[in-house]
Structure 1
Amino acid sequence: MSWTATARYGLEPAPGGLAFVQDLLNTLSAGKPRELDLLQTADDARAWLDQALRSWSGVTHRPAPGIELTAEDVEGLRGFRHDLVQSLHARHGDPAAEPRPGASVLTLPTALRLDEHGVVHAEPRGTGWRQVASLALTEVYQAQCTDTLRRLKSCRNTRCQTAFYDRSRNNSGVWHDVHVCGNAANLRNYRARKRAGADRA
């Protein structure tokens, strides 16, 4: 499947439908040099969403919902993305997590459908950005139930914040790429310790 937002950071997608959530998070402008915000304009957002829904359908083997995004929806979708990023930080105990001014608990409609094989599916409802958010939160909830959500993380580098799926055995990863963000952070810490030692001497 082609998860365009996640692929541009050279990352593997999260398993199943959780990759949709990761891809939404990775529409942010991040990296070095910085990639474009894929939700900058309505056309950008529609192009991203069309591809993401095709990929979601491919990994879940379910038909993609038809979602129309207006220019007004894009602002709402960016606000939802911000809240989702902050929830990742809060989940992993990051004191830098900052709720968006005016943000509140988000309640979105979802339908439960029993299929012919006896399997219950949660289906997003609403329109525009709210339908996108309903789909994303459905996948977040399902990942909570399977205990895979704890592996979806935001890079600890505050200049990056790329969303990655931690595949380490003990779930200890903190950088989306240890060679890019990890080395830079370790170098900064080393220099700070060296300066502190020089000041004490």
Structure 2
Amino acid sequence: MTDGRNESKVVRNGSHDAELLVDFLNTLDVEDGTDQLATSAGLASWASAHGLEPGTLDDARGARDALRSLVTGGRPELPAVPLHPSCEGDGVCLRSSTVAEAAIAATVVLSIQGKISRVKLCQAETCRFAYYDHSRNGSRAWCSMEICGNRSKARNFRAKPA
């Protein structure tokens, strides 16, 4: 039950942060050509499903574009968002209320933990799906070896001279 005030989302552990960030990056589906942040209603729906306030469409899109660039090795200028550290139970956490704030907060936490390099976009140009690389050495290149990885390897095999 809420009292009508904006509730904050507590960003606390790496697995939740990674899931939130990957879900946020995947609001843009390159393969299907769909964008959940194309409209305010889409943003509101995504925010509601993740227990967040939507914030502005421009802030959410700007954060997503910058973070997609960041995880592919770019050095974008990240949007300035307020992050509210607090001490709760098992340590320090970051509070955020809007979609853009939560995505940036998740990125900050993963960066501090040294895990941001595990958030990647599929190397297949027609896919670009975000995923968290759970492989031992962090060298996974495709969202799915069965789909994008197989396509790439088959394409490379066919391109070899006979």
Question: Shorter-chain TM-score category?
Answer: 0.7 to 0.9
For the aligned residue pairs, the C-alpha RMSD in angstroms reads 2.3
| Residue identity opposite 1:48 in structure 2 | W
Aligned mates of 1:175, 1:192 — CA distance in 2: 19
Higher relative contact order (CA 8 A, sep 6+): 2
Determine which structure has the larger strand proportion and give its number. 2
**TM-score, normalising length: structure 2:** 0.79
The residue matched to 1:183 in structure 2 has which SS? helix
**Structure 1: 4+ residue segments shifted above 6 A:** none
Matching residue of 2:17: 17
Correspondence 1:12-161 to 2 at 5 A: 15-31=15-31, 34=32, 36-53=34-51, 67-69=53-55, 73-90=56-73, 97=74, 104-115=77-88, 117=89, 119-124=91-96, 131-161=98-128
Determine which structure has the larger helix proportion and give its number. 1
Give the gaps of 5 or more residues in structure 1: 1-13, 54-64, 91-96, 126-130
Alignment deviations for residues 128-176 of structure 1 (CA, whole Å, 9 cap, x no partner): xxx3222212111111222222211110111111011111111111000
| Length, aligned pairs only | 149
Aligned mates of 1:191, 1:118 — CA distance in 2: 53
Alignment deviations for residues 44-72 of structure 1 (CA, whole Å, 9 cap, x no partner): 1111111122xxxxxxxxxxx5x244xxx
Give the gaps of 5 or more residues in structure 2: 1-13
The alignment status of 1:193 with 2:160, answered yes or no, reads yes
Identity of aligned residues (%): 25
